[in-house]
């Protein structure tokens, strides 16, 4: 019965009259391989302390300076079109040039956590999926998928955003790039496009006060726990030339997606995570403007906070309080300074931009959970993003993260260079 249902799922779209011609063309299309990827190099000089105790004792860690060189990520991309509407795509991401840390529970050692620490950083599969396409309106994907909630998750290439690093108003409270294993459908019709996913839920043990639910998507084990499930969708519209509007959302339970779900089951909670986001991008020959608003709510946050703080010290959990609500928003406006001096068909651009935003990982808290005033951050910045040729970008930015008293502001100057390119063979 199950096999029959799966077969019907694949055959039904091909029976629709509107897809018959598309399927016929796909059957005649040759197989094709696409290679590519993207990568970033970062240099930063920050005029504040990066000590973990800077929020506990702000007066002690005032007027400190630190700097860093980093390779935030290098991604290798490969895609193969087999013909007849079948396609495979994969992205392997190397973050900070490292191999990461693995947690596991050893059954022969009474369930103790054991860690294996290698070079800092992470090597991860950001995407791996197989797609069957019947028409532009309906495509089915199965595998490891990007969760398209928010602007940055949907458009995360370094040539698609202005700042040196990904906008923190999103990345401070959401996984970024957010990727999960599951099933998705997507399509486009005229000025509209959509995407909907059925994926594994988040792990409440990994939530914390500084980044809300961000850590819940990164499994510290050799597999992702999927006792609870979630759904996500994104709808885009292009109502006018140069204007793109996006609406996205996520909903899923998190309280039982751990190796020891009985910690939460005894409280009979679900830990439902609900996230909504709206974003807009406008682009013409001279101007570029981007904006995004993200708001999220976590159910049963008080119980989750209590359980997490009682977890053993060897647990991969941060073991902190977690807020019931978090928020992030920003707007940035850019002008191509070279547009006054060169031909319209010239390929280079120099975007000079200004931006303002804010984010709060503990925007609202449940009764019994203590809010952290340092979680409220306003971010302003100015910078330049130079694209000398398609696929290459050089960036410079001065930004200031402003906190409420008595916490110290966090200004920084950043430089970066990045590439993003696909090659069809």
Which pLDDT score, from 0 to 100, does residue 259 have?
80
Domains of the chain: 31-424 (2.40.160.10)
**pLDDT reading at 290 higher than 80:** yes
Q: By three-state DSSP, how is residue 231 classified?
A: strand
* pLDDT surpassing 50 at residue 86: yes
Distance from C-alpha of 229 to C-alpha of 236, rounded to nearest angstrom: 24
Q: Which of 169, 405, 213, 202 is nearest to 305 (CA)?
A: 213
CB 143 within 8 A of CB 130: yes
Nearest-CA neighbor of 184 among 227, 246, 128, 226? 128
Q: Where are the alpha helices (DSSP H) in 211-332?
A: 262-265, 301-309
Q: How confident is the model at residue 107 (pLDDT cuts 50, 70, 90)?
A: very low
Least confident span in 222-236, 241-255, 336-350: 336-350
- What are the counts of helices (DSSP H) followed by strands (DSSP E) for the chain? 6, 19
Structure confidence at residue 340 (pLDDT): 82
Rounded Cα gap, residues 259 and 206, in angstroms: 12
Q: What is the average pLDDT across 404-411?
A: 94
Q: b/e per residue, 257-275, with b = 16+ CB within 10 A?
A: bbbebebbeeeebbbbbeb
Burial class (CB within 10 angstroms; exposed 0-12, middle 13-18, buried 19+) of 114: exposed
Identify which of 94-108, 115-129, 295-309, 335-349 has the greatest average pLDDT.
295-309
Q: Is 396 helix (H, G, I), strand (E, B) or coil?
A: strand
Q: For residue range 116-159, what is the model confidence (pLDDT) as tens digits?
A: 555 566 788 899 999 999 999 999 999 999 999 999 999 999 99
Residue from 144, 270, 327 nearest 218 by CA: 144
For residue 3, is pLDDT > 70? no
Angle at 20 between CA 19 and CA 23, to 5 degrees: 85
CA distance 51 to 319: 19
Q: Which of 171-175, 260-264, 301-305 has the lowest mean pLDDT?
A: 260-264
Average pLDDT of the residues in 359-376 = 95
**Which letter, b or e, does each residue of 27-44 get, where b requires 16 or more Cβ atoms within 10 Å of its Cβ?**
eeeeeeeeebbbbbebeb
Q: Is the pLDDT confidence value at 110 over 70?
A: no
What does the alpha-carbon distance between residue 129 and residue 185 come to, in Å, rounded to a whole number?
Answer: 12
Q: Whole-number mean pLDDT of the chain?
A: 87
Both tokens assigned to 215:
């850590």
Residue 69 has pLDDT above 70, yes or no: yes
Bridge partners, residue 44, by sequence: 68, 414
Are the CB atoms for 237 and 191 separated by under 8 Å?
yes
Mean pLDDT highest for which of 2-6, 121-125, 224-228, 330-334? 330-334
Which pTM does this prediction carry? 0.87
Question: Encoding tokens for residue 128?
Answer: 């791996």
First to last CA, the chain: 41
**Nearest-CA neighbor of 170 among 236, 214, 126, 206?**
214
Give percent above pLDDT 90 in the chain: 68
CA 240 – CA 234 distance, rounded (Å):
19
For residue 12, pLDDT over 60 is answered with: no
Q: Which residue has the tokens 């630190």?
A: 66
State both tokens at 383.
Answer: 């910078």
- Rounded to whole angstroms, the Cα distance separating 130 from 92 reads 15
């Amino acid at each position: 019965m199950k096999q029959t249902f799966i077969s019907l799922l694949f055959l039904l779209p091909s029976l629709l009259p509107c897809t018959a011609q598309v399927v016929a063309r796909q059957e005649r299309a040759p197989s094709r391989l696409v290679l590519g990827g993207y990568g970033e190099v970062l240099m930063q000089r920050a005029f504040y302390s990066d000590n973990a105790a800077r929020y506990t004792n702000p007066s002690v860690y005032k007027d400190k300076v630190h700097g860093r060189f980093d390779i935030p990520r290098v991604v290798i991309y490969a895609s193969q079109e087999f013909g007849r509407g079948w396609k495979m795509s994969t992205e392997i991401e190397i973050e900070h040039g490292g191999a990461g840390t693995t947690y596991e529970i050893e059954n022969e050692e009474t369930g103790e956590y054991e860690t294996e620490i290698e070079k800092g950083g992470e090597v991860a599969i950001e995407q791996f999926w197989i797609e069957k396409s019947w028409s532009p309106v309906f495509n089915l994907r199965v595998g490891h998928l990007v969760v398209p909630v928010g602007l940055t998750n949907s458009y995360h290439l370094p040539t698609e955003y202005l700042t040196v690093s990904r906008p923190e108003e999103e990345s401070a409270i959401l996984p970024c790039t957010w990727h999960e294993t599951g099933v998705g459908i997507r399509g486009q019709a005229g000025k509209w496009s959509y995407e909907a996913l059925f994926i594994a839920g988040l792990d409440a043990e990994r939530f914390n006060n500084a980044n809300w639910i961000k850590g819940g998507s990164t499994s510290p084990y050799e597999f992702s726990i999927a006792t609870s499930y979630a759904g996500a969708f994104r709808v885009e519209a292009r109502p006018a030339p140069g204007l793109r509007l996006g609406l996205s959302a996520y909903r899923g339970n998190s309280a039982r997606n751990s190796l020891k779900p009985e910690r939460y089951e005894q409280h009979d909670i679900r830990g439902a995570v609900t996230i909504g986001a709206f974003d807009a991008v406008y682009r013409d020959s001279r101007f570029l403007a981007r904006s995004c608003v993200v708001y999220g709510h976590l159910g049963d946050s008080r119980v989750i906070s209590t359980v997490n703080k009682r977890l053993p010290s060897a647990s991969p959990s941060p073991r902190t309080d977690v807020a019931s609500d978090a928020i992030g928003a920003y707007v940035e406006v850019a002008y191509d300074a070279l547009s006054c001096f060169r031909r319209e068909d010239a390929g280079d651009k120099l975007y000079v931009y200004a931006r303002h935003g804010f984010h709060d990982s503990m925007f609202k808290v449940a009764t019994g959970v203590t809010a952290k005033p340092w979680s409220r951050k306003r971010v302003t910045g100015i910078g330049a993003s130079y694209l000398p040729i398609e696929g290459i970008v050089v960036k410079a930015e001065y930004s200031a993260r402003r906190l409420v008293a008595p916490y110290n502001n966090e200004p920084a100057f950043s430089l970066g260079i990045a590439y993003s390119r696909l090659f069809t063979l």
